[in-house]
Structure 1
Amino acid sequence: MTARPLSAAAIALNRFGLGACPGDDQPMEARRWLLEQFRDFEIRPAGMATLADAGIVVQRYRAQQRALKQAAGAAPGTLEASLKPIREAYMQTTRALYRDAVQARAQSALTTAAPFVERMVHFWSNHFCISTDNPELAAYAGSFERDAIRPHVLGRFSDMLLAVEQHPAMLIYLNQIASIGPDSPAALKAEQREPGRRLGLNENLGREIMELHTLGVRSGYSQADVTEFARALTGWTIDGLGRGHDREGDPDAFAFRPMQHEPGPRRVMGHTYDQAGEDQATAVLLDLARSPATASHVATKLGRHFAGDTPPPRLVARLAQEFERSGGDLPSLYRVLILSPEPWAATPLKFKTPWEWTISALRGMDQTGPGQLQLAGVQSALGQPVWKPGSPAGWDDTAASWAAPDALLRRVEFASRLAAPFGDRIDARVIGARVMPASLSEATAEQVRRSESPASALALLLVSPDFLRR
């Protein structure tokens, strides 16, 4: 029994969007429907707008730690016992902030009028990823996506890049707040106080910007370029959380500390940067954002996300050319994707990640919110905890990472759990045709018809090959 070719509406809803909602009208002109979403996107939806600021929580905890350590100096042996209750309270608070942020993210994905643009928020959040392995980042993760990604998803790549690299979450994740120019006034003063003590560079942020956020691997930069860029970045920190500044400032804001900046010009990839202070690293960043290597790197990732695990070379070339022509204007890149033939192939091109699958399942069941379903725990169980990839490279975007037998078994188990309360209210035979308009395979339709109960029919639909792919 051969699969039916995907309709343009099904591709727009599921490959470009986040999955169809049965109650929504089907797009009659799929490409126009996608393009019109640029005007409908909500930068700060209600759930995101009400997320608590994380910085004050982190700042307060650090202040408590510092006070206890000072007090313990006069009473050795009491420090660990004193730290334990405040550490436990802090962990509980950061976990709650994280869970609330994941729920708000899901709420936006389920109710958005611009599911294609919302997908791009998730794409860029993974491209510029952080990881909540660190409790401080569990607190900051929601604000990172809200404040650094969402406002720029319909803007320029360079603006998003700057917002990302100056966000407290990225500065903590890649240890930038520990990076001090070796010959900066702050480092020299520290050595005068403690002879032999040398404060120094941390190259993590500079390296990952070049390797992952802009140029890509094997794109012509050297270790010397990384080191020089790291020197240019010194002084970039968090207002209220950087070295020696926990007591003052706004811990949710970027700050530049001139005393920590490595003096002198920098030479990065053949260019000399003699700007003063903060402007030096900004100038390097803007040049990296304009690089043809960055255009190629971003184009490849976009092509992979929409046109298959091995992105079509012609599509990648078209995207890279538009990136350079437009100066990294993101809506221009999205238009190329929407108007190119490759992403509209009438066969499934991508295997859904756990996040994509969960959101599309909830949308397919016409859910307007996660309700009592705690999606932070669900995504961990399915193998893709939100904002917690295994490395700064982010979550992989190929089927090999998500289609293993044990991963599929977890989806089957969760689909059964998800479908159980809705079996008497949702007719899988009806919604199957709605969420896969003119595209549901006869094999899946037959399995659904023959299911022993409404709940099992719904679960079968959610784990069918048709629904697992986009």
Structure 2
Amino acid sequence: MTDSPHLTEAAIALNRFGLGARGDESPPSDPKAWLLNQFDRYDPKPAALAQQPDSPAVAQELGAARQQVASGADQDAKLAARKMLRTEVRDAYRDAVDARVQSALTTQTPFVDRLVYFWSNHFAISTEKPQVAALAGAFETEAIRPHVLGRFEDMLLAVERHPAMQVFLDQVRSIGPDSRAAMRADARDPQHKRGLNENLGREIMELHTLGVRTGYTQSDVTEFARALTGWSIVGPKGAGGTPGTFIFRPALHEPGDRTIMGRRYTEPGEAQARAVLHDLASAPATANHVATKLARHFAGDNPSQALVARLAQAFQSSGGDLPTVYRALVASSEAWTSTPVKFKTPWDWTISTLRGLGVQEMPGIKAAPILTQLGQPVWRPGSPAGYDDIAASWAAPDALMRRVDLAQRIGARVGDRVDARTLGPKLTAGSLDPATALAVSRAESAQTALALLLVSPDFQRR
């Protein structure tokens, strides 16, 4: 089979910009208009996600479960309560993954949903911590989806204030060394020093905004962490607000002015970190960082500097208006290269497979274990940097064999109800390579034909 089939613009719109063609739908006659028209039809909270608990509900459930652990009459009771808590967290995570998949399968705005998943990975959390696992779905629904067609600064603020990010990067443990709370604690117990946690400040600068090696220093990170002190979340007892929502705690805030990247911030309290975030969101380095990642996601692992520069200019000239950047992307010839430029991640491949087979409901299909088997568990990259967006991270032989194994199981399950010979041209919008079509037509069975189609270069690349 050849490695570089010639893609039609419809195929590019459906697969590179979207989430994969559906076998029961016709390709768009005007691919670029089809992409841009989705901005007016996007639903930030579709039915599948609307049924999921929000952050306050999750916080209350976790609080009740932890209270049950604490109130256990003996060690056996405590162990049983802890086991129940782990089960509840696991089930909440799996339900959220299933809802995400359900939304991806039924969305009428697949380009915008791809952008949601892009930003969710840009502002990555990881679910090793039980609280984060339980809150991960709410994080994407509450902090990413409402702002994907808005301003970058608004999304940035929503992300950093969200309880999932606050817990993931230990901001809830950060205390200004000279804050009122620290002084009181030191007076009670001089040997137990409470202190600053720099995780959130560092990752905001390095990953969420400026990028690495862009001129900031360790001193800037420390000063930003001091500005962020007091940013926290309401606990399960609801002191100060609704459990699981953002709260600013003045007693934890480090007093005084901050100097970050040459600018002095004199704002009091919560406003200090917000002022820093405003400047970071509008910094030229942030525009370049965001533009590079978007270009890599849509135009190849090594995007041209010309494309990056155009996207960065769109970002800066619009004040971080994301639809302006997306329109510049859609208008760029580099994103419409007629040969495949990206290797599908396990998430991409799974969703495009299910969409291609016409799956719209998930009963009996547990998505979380499947994606874990394929090497990309949802919301669990293991690092604040998120999952890699280059082929080398996903095209290793063992990873490909896992796809082959799953494709064979899918073929065995539904292959006798699907004609891969007619499905192939539909899923590739007329771009199926003749060698792939020949291999599928000569397969020894319908099941094998479907498996061959799903692991072909045509289908695994976009």
TM above 0.5: yes
Corresponding residue for residue 125 of structure 2: 130
Residue 192 of structure 1 pairs with residue 184 of structure 2: no
Residue 371 of structure 1 deviates from its aligned partner by 2.8
Structure 1 position 334, deviation (Å): 0.6
Q: Given residue 60 of structure 2, which amino acid in structure 1 is its aligned partner?
A: I
> What is the Cα deviation at residue 174 of structure 1?
0.1
Distance in 1 of aligned mates of 2:227 and 2:61 = 30
Q: What is the aligned partner in structure 2 of residue 211 from structure 1?
A: 206
Runs of 4+ deviating beyond 4 Å: 65-68, 245-248
Distance 1:197 1:239 in 2: 24
Q: Report what 2:329 is aligned to.
A: 337
Change in CA separation of 1:257 and 1:379 when aligned onto 2, cut-off 3 Å: same
**TM norm structure 1:** 0.95
Q: Contact 1:140–1:169 (CA<8 Å) still a contact in 2?
A: yes
Q: CA deviation at 1:369?
A: 2.5
Aligned residue among 391, 394, 403 for 1:399: 391
Partner of 2:313: 321
Written as runs of structure 1 = structure 2, the 5 A alignment for 1:293-308 is 293-308=285-300
Gaps of 5+ in 2: none
Choose which of 205, 219, 228 in structure 2 pairs with 1:233. Answer: 228
Equivalent in the alignment of 1:419: 411
SS of residue in 2 equivalent to 1:424? helix
Give runs of aligned pairs for residues 343-362 of structure 1, distance below 5 A: 343-362=335-354
In the other structure, the counterpart of 2:65 is 61
Q: CA contact under 8 A between 1:177 and 1:236: conserved in structure 2?
A: yes
In structure 1, give the amino acid aligned to 2:454.
L
Matched residue, 1:74: none
The SS at the match of 2:247 is strand
Distance in 2 separating the partners of 1:65 and 1:177: 21
Q: Which residue, 134, 137, 140 being the options, matches 1:139? A: 134
- Is the Cα–Cα contact under 8 Å of residues 70 and 78 in structure 2 kept in the other structure? no
Counterparts of residues 49-448 of structure 1 (less than 5 Å): 49-52=50-53, 53-67=57-71, 80-240=75-235, 249-448=241-440
1:23 is matched with which residue? 24
Unaligned runs of 5+ in 1: 72-77
Tell me the distance in 2 between the aligned counterparts of 1:335 and 1:386.
28
Query: How far, CA to CA, are the matches of 2:43 and 2:79 in structure 1?
Result: 42
Which deviations, in whole Å up to 9, do the C-alpha atoms of 1:326-383 show, x marking residues without a partner?
1111101110110100010000000000000000000111111233111100000000
3-state SS, counterpart of residue 21 of structure 1 = coil
Q: 1:136 deviation in Å?
A: 1.0
Aligned to 2:41: 40
Question: Number of matched residues?
Answer: 458
Q: RMSD between aligned alpha carbons?
A: 1.4
Equivalents in 1 of 2:235, 2:35: separation in Å? 42
Aligned-pair CA distance for 1:143: 0.1
- Paired-residue identity, %: 59
CA contact (8 A) 1:215 1:291 kept: yes
2:233 aligned counterpart, secondary structure:
strand
The whole-number CA distance in structure 1 between the counterparts of 2:456 and 2:33 is 29
TM-score, structure 2 normalization: 0.97
